[in-house]
Amino acid sequence: MKKIFLLFGFITALSSGQTTIKGKILTNNEALAFASVFIPTLNLGINSDENGFYLLKNIPNGTYSITYSFIGFKSKKKNITVNNETDITINITLEENHSLDEVVVTGTLKPVSRLETPVPVEVYTASFLKKNPTPNIFEALQNVNGVRPQLNCNVCNTGDIHINGLEGPYTMVTIDGMPIVSGLSTVYGLSGIPNSLIDRIEIVKGPASSLYGSEAVGGLINIITKSPETAPLFYADAFSTSWLENNIDLGAKYSLGKKINSLIGINYYNYNNPIDNNKDNFTDVTLQNRISIFNKFSILRKSEKEFSLAGRYFYEDRWGGEMQWNKSYRGGNEVYGESIYTKRYEVLGKYQLPIKENLIASFSYTNHNQNSVYGDVFFLAKQEIAYGQMTWDKKIGNHDLLFGTAFRYQFYNDNTTATKKPEKTKISSLFLQDEIKLSEKHSVLLGTRYDYNSIHGAIFTPRIAYKWKPSKNDIFRINAGTGFRVVNLFTEEHAALTGSRDVIITENLNPEKSYNINFNYLRKFEIGDGVHSVIEFSSWYTHFKNQIIPDYDTNPNQIIYSNLNGYSKTYGLTGNFELIFPFGLKTMIGFTALESKNKRDGIISTPILTEKFSTTWGITYDIVKWNSSIDYTGNLYGPMRLPLLGDLDPRSEYSPFWSIQNIQFTYKNFKYFELYGGIKNLLNWTPNKNNPFLIARANDPFDKAVVFDANGNATATPNNPYALTFDPSYVYAPNQGIRGFLGLRYILN
């Protein structure tokens, strides 16, 4: 998708004795303004001017590869030799990239065209994130079809990301392919990734355990950061809402000598305005003070092989609770509050070995410290994860092979009775993938992974994929495989820490196993002159063994955890439709219909917080005449079963259909600046509508006035007619109504 970059002026006199490279960048016989021109070996780059012209001066003799690129267009490389010429003219035409020609890496761990990969991969660029500005990745994914950010607590607003109806722990989130977001950070770490540094997000729906191991059962979200070579020189994006939420994103690139390029990004978010619109004396939205700093280094090598290092520091102070709460009440039982301090460090890197073969070594390390209080219950936890991986990409005849080995070490400790001593887990892995090109139209991918877990022993996860491409614009794919997940209960289940339910673990929890098959059809075509369209349909079936599902139903005062004595399954159909018109209109709509069932001890039930239907949409209209654009985004969700506290609970057992819709206006006629603003949640939808309350016993959060029987069950009294205990887990939608926002972006290339 085309983005307009403003010119950081250049064109100076030529220096005598050295060569100048100049030319014009075009698309459809028209000038392409502000496209990027870069020579990696010289660490030299520039942008074309408003008429598409570019000029690179003082080029010494030698042989070079020049890269021409622009967001929304296919990049091109031009190899040249400079030998005492005064000037060289190179005119380049870039072709628009209509969604399917992007190079993706997530599905197979190697670069491949999205239309060629046997594993379906969805791509969302930085421009997609701008259609509905958000302060974090968690909220930004609300308009991705089949992906639903799920809030899990009305008080501290923890959340996870569901893919195709599967809960958050089944979704793996990686940064540049490294498993950064896992364990403790699946609860609190998703909000700290600066949007300003994101180049694109690649999403695989369905199991990816054969390449990525545990946690990639339901799907994979790979956040790919920008390259220091092609990122803007400086970037700033700040916005505020009528609720006084303030967010600042800053990004800048700089050089350390001639061989090291660096990109730094800073995100700061502050919300310190307690609001209680539903009048339950609890904050509707968690108060937050958060900072995240990310720095990425790219080391230039003569061989042009990859070498990058990155680090991130994240700190967050958040609280929610009764309106009169302050930090003097932290940990006490006078005024209820949930207060979480999070400190997190991350390091990741990638190094392509200086040999003929394509061997890449990758590593990551995370250190996560959490100091949290839920009412008068302290939860103190520390987690360290070290991960290393080596891959070898090799082509032999019609075989495209990938060999890999990985090692993961995890240290975890907390102050709960379930963790009697620090847990140290080691997982050693070997994986192999072979894509066999049977003919021009047919190929098959075979993959297998062997993991040895120091606690659970050997785990084997194979997969197979078949691709049939009847024409250059059609592709049909079948993927089948197995997945596994080693459960970290207290790092994943926030409900085990909040409220007054007791946590009951009935047995030693074994790894979960899944079996999945996925059918996918994608077609790219043109309708009339200049109207581009993409349609994609997928259907899937996933069957689980040993699944660990929290049982809220057997006893309203308990959460019971055990391996499922039976089975669990989820299946459904999803579709995406995209239309791009030549007069500036772009539309995208997606739908997902799914069914999810559990069979426990012979009884079939529907799991809680799993929607039956959802749809998302995004409509963008670029008004070229006024240098502005309009974005209308939204989602709609069907009914889902909700966690009630007993037969007398007056709240609805199922959620209604509900929708969050947003509109944004952007004005781009300022030099270097974009001004944007709009309205979020146009329909003013909040989950308290048609419900007597959301938080059970919000007037008695420490259950001081609750009467219990001999079995520990709450009994109905005049003061407690519904026999409830305090519980904030009845949540399925953001509890934040309509609000305006206004923001400003600054881009210097």
Q: How far apart are CA 162 and CA 166, in angstroms?
A: 5
* pLDDT tens-digit series, residues 161-196: 888 888 777 788 888 888 776 666 665 556 666 677
- Percent with pLDDT over 70 in the chain: 86
560 three-state secondary structure: strand
Q: Select from 104, 163, 148, 109 the least CA-distant residue to 540.
A: 163
CA-based angle 674:683:136, to the nearest 5? 45
* pLDDT tens-digit series, residues 346-392: 999 999 999 989 999 999 999 999 899 999 989 898 989 999 999 99
Q: How far apart are CA 91 and CA 480, in angstroms?
A: 46
564 falls in which pLDDT band (50, 70, 90)? confident
Q: Which residues of 669-681 are buried (b: 16+ CB within 10 A; e: fewer)?
A: eeeeebebbbbbb
pLDDT of residue 215: 67
Q: What is the mean pLDDT of the chain?
A: 84
List Cα–Cα distances, 130 to 203, 221, 335, 627, 745, in angstroms.
18, 18, 39, 16, 10
Highest mean pLDDT among 234-248, 446-460, 531-545: 234-248
List Cα–Cα distances, 546 to 191, 518, 598, 728, in angstroms.
31, 21, 11, 28
What is the rounded end-to-end Cα distance, in angstroms, of the chain?
Answer: 18
Number of residues in the chain: 749
pLDDT of residue 123: 85
Q: Select from 194, 97, 46, 170 the least CA-distant residue to 548.
A: 170
DSSP E strand boundaries for 397-547? 399-414, 423-437, 442-453, 457-471, 474-485, 502-505, 512-526, 532-545
Whether the pLDDT of residue 6 is over 70: the answer is no
pLDDT of residue 206: 76
Contact, 548 vs 490, CB < 8 A? Answer: no
Whether the pLDDT of residue 711 is over 70: the answer is yes
pLDDT of residue 5: 35
pLDDT of residue 297: 94
Looking at residues 437-441, what average pLDDT do you find?
Answer: 91
More confident residue, 614 or 197: 614
Contact, 164 vs 220, CB < 8 A? Answer: no
pLDDT of residue 311: 92
Strand partners, 628: 623, 667
Q: Select from 694, 720, 695, 696 the least CA-distant residue to 709.
A: 720
Q: How far apart are CA 482 and CA 429, in angstroms?
A: 16
Residue 711 identity (one-letter amino acid): N
- Percent with pLDDT over 90 in the chain: 43
569 three-state secondary structure: strand
Contact, 640 vs 612, CB < 8 A? Answer: yes
Residue 115 identity (one-letter amino acid): L
Lowest mean pLDDT: which of 145-154, 336-345, 613-622?
145-154
226 three-state secondary structure: coil
Domain ranges of the chain: 19-93, 234-748
Looking at residues 606-624, what average pLDDT do you find?
Answer: 90
Looking at residues 215-224, what average pLDDT do you find?
Answer: 81
Whether the pLDDT of residue 322 is over 70: the answer is yes
CATH of domain 234-748: 2.40.170.20
Lowest mean pLDDT: which of 153-162, 210-219, 287-296, 685-694?
210-219
Q: And the tokens for 293?
A: 């700093």
pLDDT of residue 8: 33
Q: Select from 127, 231, 141 the least CA-distant residue to 622.
A: 127
Looking at residues 401-409, what average pLDDT do you find?
Answer: 93
8-state DSSP, 186: H
345's enclosing H/E stretch is strand 337-352
Looking at residues 67-91, what average pLDDT do you find?
Answer: 82
15 falls in which pLDDT band (50, 70, 90)? very low
593 falls in which pLDDT band (50, 70, 90)? very high
Highest mean pLDDT among 31-35, 76-80, 534-538: 534-538
Strands 234-241 and 219-225, sheet pairing? unpaired
Residues 6+ apart with CB under 8 A from 58: 15, 18, 19, 20
pLDDT of residue 75: 77
DSSP E strand boundaries for 28-75? 30-31, 36-39, 44-47, 53-59, 62-69
pLDDT of residue 160: 80
* pLDDT tens-digit series, residues 87-130: 899 999 887 665 555 666 666 666 666 677 888 888 888 888 88
Instruction: Tally Cβ neighbours within 10 Å of residue 145.
Output: 26
| 19-93 carries CATH number 2.60.40.10 | yes
* pTM for the full predicted model: 0.82
Whether the pLDDT of residue 67 is over 50: the answer is yes
pLDDT of residue 13: 34
Q: How far apart are CA 637 and CA 656, in angstroms?
A: 8
pLDDT of residue 191: 66
Strands 377-396 and 358-374, sheet pairing? antiparallel
pLDDT of residue 79: 87
Q: Which residues of 640-658 are buried (b: 16+ CB within 10 A; e: fewer)?
A: bbbbbbbeebebeeebbeb
Q: And the tokens for 162?
A: 């569901």
